[in-house]
A and B are shown apart, each in its own frame.
Chain A
Amino acid sequence: MTSVAHRGRRLWATTAGLASTALVLAACSGGGSDPSASEGGGGGASSLTVGTTDKITSLDPAGSYDNGSFAVQNQVFPFLMNTPYGSPDVEPDIAESAEFTSPTEYTVKLKSGLKWANGHDLTSSDVKFTFDRQLKIADDNGPSSLLYNLDSVAAPDDTTVVFTLKSENDQVFPQILSSPVGPIVDEEVFSPDALTPDDEIVAANAFAGQYTITDYKVNELVSYKKYDGYQGILEPAKTAEVNAVYYAESENLKLAVQQGDVDVAFRSLSATDIADLKGNDKVKVVDGPGGEIRYLVFNFDTQPFGAKTSDADADKATAVRKAVAALIDRQAISDQVYKGTYTPLYSFVPAGLTGATESLKIYGDGNGGPSVDQAKQFLSEAGVSGKVTLNIQYSNDHYGPSSPDEYAMIKDQLESSGLFTVNLQTTEWVQYSKDRTSDVYPVYQLGWFPDYSDADNYLTPFFLIENFLVNHFENQEINDLILQQATTADPAERQSIIENIQESVAGYLPTVPYLQGAQVAVVGSTVSGAEDTLDASFKFRYGALSKG
């Protein structure tokens, strides 16, 4: 027993010794100056640190379909079609030209002499390989569903790629080539029938975007180096080395940018963080249009007076939707809950995209504010008397931490008119996703982040008769218009059809969009270029950023 106790004592002494050594070492060497992340790495402006709360699912474009992964892929992979700074519309990227050579054939001519950063040739064979493997792998987390209209790909010579499409004159297809399914990969590195692990991609240096990746620790740190052989539509990267640091909690990212540990904080700081940083001289808050929208979905069968309810009445049901649209005070939600990080949205297509209107301003006071009188009028004209009870469902975990506050406000706005009684309910996301498509929720929250920067992406998924909302909204006329715009080659004509669609849908209100996310970056006072890349392409390019 004594010997054991003795051993214990020795253990304790060793432990204490080790610990104090460690602490003393740290304290001595500390001395208050934390080597700021951005200062080293070889001289001021040649390197830059970006912080984000994004998450990377996979570097392999076939294995990811999310903002965090796409943000990385955008920096390092070439695209056939891409958006230049400041525009939502696509142009050829590593291609010389891209056009319909027949109604179902889309032909892309590559620039000649393209190289991957590892020295491999970048040819039409890589392009064919890329899209063939997307369709073959069709991973659960992958974006292969975006290639719904692709029949086959051919590479007749080294610089020519021919896409054979299923339906004719698809105006969305060029956009899809710039979407998460579009990054071209190196056929000598990637596996043709399985996802390629991130580390292998990095080790093989299979990149040809503005940057290559030199060091990669998933969801911790990605170190980018400028790729000198880049020949795409964007200008060469302005900063030679960019390090992206991944955070999980927005307040840590906020403190990091405030302390100068990171030069650029992009996606996502909380509204409070941004409001506070706006008053801080050391940083600048830069914003641009965002593609993310929030909207309420009405189930035409189960909403009040819906088709399957006991007191079914289509006119009354429409009046209820219109009254809700008239009562929501978008500006108040934007100001109080989101402090301007989300802005009011008055159409189905968000502002900034070609063809966006403000078709929903007919509801409310005409200037975007709410109107109780108009809401009363809608209901009384349809013969609705007494308070209408709305059971609204929202997800408390899927659309960010502010959803509860957002819905508390919507409830408050609807109820204070005296026209509605609102019961808020929330359900965990997995169950939510099942319930919403099986008619359990009469009115519910959803959000949408676009796959590509085209109005089509805000219409086709929602308002076709076969749509992903499954809310029993069926309108043949709107259905046909949506199909028509997708194949209209003349841009002006297409734009007018898109505007028409928004106007028509506004009369039915199968959804009530109310917020549009702004893209906000917080940058150190000497950093420039963020405003150039915060555009309606919703692609944040590190290559535009520079410091000093």
Chain B
Amino acid sequence: MTSTTPAAPAAPSAPAAPEAPQRRGRPAGSPLLRYLLVRFLLIFPTILILVSVVFVMLRLTGDPITAALGGRLTPDQLQERIHEAGYDRPIVVQYLDYLGSIVRGDFGTTISDNRPVTQVLLTYGTATLELVVYGMLVALLIGIPLGRIAASRRDSGGDATLRVASILAYATPVFFLGMLLKLVFSVWLGVLPVSGRASTISTLKMSREGSSTGIYLIDAISTGDGAVISDVLQHAILPAVTLGLITGGIFLRLVRTNVMGTLATGYVEAARSRGVGERRLLRKHAWRPALIPIITVIGLQTALLLSGAVLTETTFEWKGLGFQLVQYLLARDYVAVQGMVALIAVIVALTNFVVDVIAALIDPRIRY
């Protein structure tokens, strides 16, 4: 954060160009474009690695036929079915077969419930997307203002309380927190629904009258029925808060640290020495620079949110990717798990790419 001149890093790039990428020939575009291109190309190995790791791990555990039917069939019958499905071929052959079908965009059909994986991904992916967006909103609402407050009252009792509270939010297992919230708000107070994404009536109404985007808020709005919209929102509150609290705790600490960091930098010190008040220092001088790393890191929370979504979705019967992935894992449905992992890998790789692009646009020094 010390150097703020965008021109500075351009200098070392000049000697580098002929050195590193000779094989690709001298890049025609600007260094920024070249950087973005390489970052974009990195998406593919990332996806390949994740998909391969998961493939190998799953095949080490055994075959899905045994998982599903081991209790009911004789070993001979079992062997016959395994053979028919091709699970007794060498793992390399199965692997290449699998990669081939992915490249063709064919994710196959789930073994345990015979559904096209693409359809599974669409159905549950939208549910997770909706939850993650809600969770992120709650996290921002909690994390950013409270983080600012903590930074401005640094080392006071309030700061300590906020920090301990944020650590507590993080230290509480999602399912424990979820259960407690359910008990308080659903069972004792009776103000919020226990679980699910919408009540039976609303679900039926949406599927009969509304759109079918899979994002319930949009579907609810498309029915034009206030009761349905409010029902969908009510169902979202507890899962969003559960997921958001944990991430919010992290944002809080992140904002606090970054604001304090910028408050300690030279130009803020300079402003301070000019007699600018602490409030104004925070608002006018320290806040904006602190936001840049915050935005970057927030974008990097995809993995965190997806992990949290697994537990949140399971706790609240929010039938999304994470929830369904655990179900398929328990059923040892390789085809489904691999498809979902491929999607998660794509999401993760794309998010990282987008974050890097944003970061590079914000701060030119990062490019090199």
Contact = CB atoms under 8 A, between A and B. Distances in A.
Give the interface residue-count category, chain B: 35 or more
Interface stretch (A28-36, A85-93, A126-134, A318-326): A28-36
B194 A20 contact: no
A249 B317 CA distance: 7
A197 B69 CA distance: 22
Give the interface residue-count category, chain A: 35 or more
A433 B207 CA distance: 41
Contacts of A29: 226-227, 229-230, 233-234
Q: Is the interface of B mostly helix, strand, loop or mixed?
A: helix
A248 B314 contact: yes
A428 B279 CA distance: 59
Interface stretch (B37-45, B59-67, B99-107, B268-276): B59-67
Contacts of A259: 186-187, 190, 194
Interface in B36-58: none
A221 B203 contact: yes
Contacts, number: 200
Nearest to A37: B200
B140 A16 contact: yes
B330 A397 contact: yes
Interface string A188-205: 000000010110000000
A470 interface: yes
A209 to B, nearest CB: 20
Contact of B193 (A34, A40, A243, A428): A34
Interface stretch (A55-63, A302-310, A384-392, A540-548): A55-63
A249 B233 contact: no
Interface string A4-23: 11101101100110111011
Q: Is the interface of A mostly helix, strand, loop or mixed?
A: mixed
Given A30-B230, A247-B317, A468-B73, A140 B193 contact: no
Interface stretch (A211-219, A227-235, A357-365, A417-425): A211-219
A256 B194 CA distance: 7
B211 interface: no
A343 interface: no
Contacts of B77: 145
A41 interface: yes
By Cβ-Cβ distance, the 8 closest A-B pairs, closest first, are A433-B70, A29-B230, A26-B233, A5-B288, A19-B137, A37-B200, A430-B62, A40-B201
Interface of B: 4, 6, 61-63, 65-75, 77-78, 81, 84-85, 111-116, 134, 137-138, 140-141, 144, 179, 182, 186-187, 189-196, 199-204, 207-208, 217, 226-227, 229-231, 233-234, 236-237, 288-289, 291-292, 295, 314-317, 319, 323, 327, 330, 332, 361-363
19 contacts: A1-B362, A4-B361, A8-B288, A15-B137, A20-B141, A22-B137, A29-B226, A29-B227, A34-B190, A145-B73, A197-B114, A221-B204, A243-B204, A245-B200, A247-B195, A255-B182, A430-B66, A437-B75, A446-B71
